[in-house]
Amino acid sequence: MADIVINHRVGTRQGHGGMYNRFDGMPLPWDEHAVTSCSGGLGNRSTGDNFNGVPNIDHTQNYVRKDIIGWLTWLRKSIGFQDFRFDFAKGYAAKYVKEYVEESKPLFSIGEYWDSCSYSSGLDHNQDNHRQRIINWIDETGGLCAAFDFTTKGVLQEAIKGQLWRLRDSQGKPPGVMGWWPSRAVTFIENHDTGSTQRHWPFPSSHVIQGYAYILTHPGLPMVFYDHFYDCGQSMHDQIVKLMEIRKRLDIHSRSSIRILEAKSNLYAAIIGEKLCMKIGDGSWCPNGEEWKLATSGHGYAIWNK
């Protein structure tokens, strides 16, 4: 998977306004007209949010899109990348991502549409507006792109602190993008921006494995963070491997059904695909029926299968 950073691009030489917005001597030798007027260029205004401090690319220019498509096709066919991750997807209209995906034909593509959750005195229980904005972005790509489920991350990292009631919405479904469009929701605990060395929005470190017990048993497309898998000790690594093995063995997939059985302060329990049962939290609980056998357990979580 290639990280496609096409919202902003620092030039090789200063141009209009003293900004580094000329790209002389490069394979894509654009000038200031390829840069949005709101980020120091001579192009049109941005079709999305501005990424401050650097030139933002003007995707309304036909030649810019043609060059980007050529570069993506080169990555795909000549270099051999199969999948694309579109960085800072809020920065330009989703219709351009649709065009880029249609023309370069990656096997899988995903957008980083990182929007702020709704807060008042704390995180609001209802995050429908937040996940709807992510779903709107997916819709505008023609459904060709998945998106990172920032809603699930935001809710889960608050819920895990003794507010597990947050994990059931008013309709009885999971509260993130996963609850509405699971086949396009890439669930995750942490990434290079939210955690790691930057820690802009970190998941509680003492509850990471419970977070994985949630996303690796649920619908959606779960992502495991490199740091957690390789840099947090053998126990964490082995527990994640076990959770992934159970998911694969039971064929839990992005569209698996889910029934939430409990969602209260210290306990969350659900049945997924009618063949996996899980619980997280300190509350004592186990499923009814002798057909359920314990598959694995750890600090604050347990998984059963039939």
Query: To which residue do tokens 């065009």 refer?
Result: 99
Catalytic residue among 49, 87, 139, 140: 87
Rounded Cα distance between 34 and 55, Å, is 9
Rounded Cα distance between 177 and 145, Å, is 13
Provide the strand spans (E) within 201-266: 258-264
The answer to whether 102 is a known catalytic residue is: no
Catalytic residue among 58, 99, 112, 190: 112
Rounded Cα distance between 8 and 2, Å, is 16
The answer to whether 87 is a known catalytic residue is: yes
Whether 180 and 173 have beta carbons less than 8 Å apart is answered as: yes
How far apart, in Å, are the Cα atoms of 153 and each of 104, 208, 239? 30, 11, 20
For residue 6, count other CB atoms closer than 10 A to its CB: 22
Strand 2-4, strand 83-86: pairing:
parallel
Rounded Cα distance between 149 and 214, Å, is 13
CA atoms within 13 A on the CB side of 258: 30
- How long, in residues, is the chain? 306
For residue 74, count other CB atoms closer than 10 A to its CB: 13
**At how many degrees (to 10) do helices 150-159 and 208-215 cross?**
130
Q: Which of 184, 177, 114, 161 is nearest to 268 (CA)?
A: 161
What are the catalytic residues? 87, 112
